[in-house]
Amino acid sequence: MATKYIFVTGGVVSSLGKGITAASLGRLLKNRGFNVTIQKFAPYINIDPGTMSPYQHGEVFVTDDGAETDLDLGHYERFIDINLSKRSNITAGKVYWSVINKERK
């Protein structure tokens, strides 16, 4: 079967339930026999949420490989019963950092 993608969007407004919705949908699909993984893209400029105020962003979730990620990754791991890594959480800041470093080479 070909790979299928589902995008859950909702802008930059926090606490709308996008993460819980994605995690719940992942659980439902997994229960129906699909192989499920998840990828989070956060539009903030920081490299990771560990440098942001918890009042501004909320708590962070630390993956098994030590990455400080968005709390949604914790929901994804628990709902879908998978282990995620730093590769599962991309921020605009990481993308910009990569582009700038490649430009400097």
Residue by residue, DSSP assigns 43-103 as --SSSSGGGS-HHHH--EEE-TT--EEETHHHHHHHHHT----GGGEEEHHHHHHHHHHHH
Please state the pTM of the whole predicted model: 0.81
Token readout for 44 is 């903030």
Q: What is the pLDDT of residue 68?
A: 87
Residue 42: helix, strand or coil by DSSP? strand
pLDDT computed for residue 66 by the predictor: 92
Domain ranges within the chain, ordered by starting residue: 18-104
Position 57 scores a pLDDT of: 63
Residue pLDDT tens, the chain, 105 long: 789 999 998 876 777 889 999 999 999 999 999 999 999 998 888 777 767 666 666 778 899 999 888 889 999 999 999 999 999 999 888 999 999 999 998
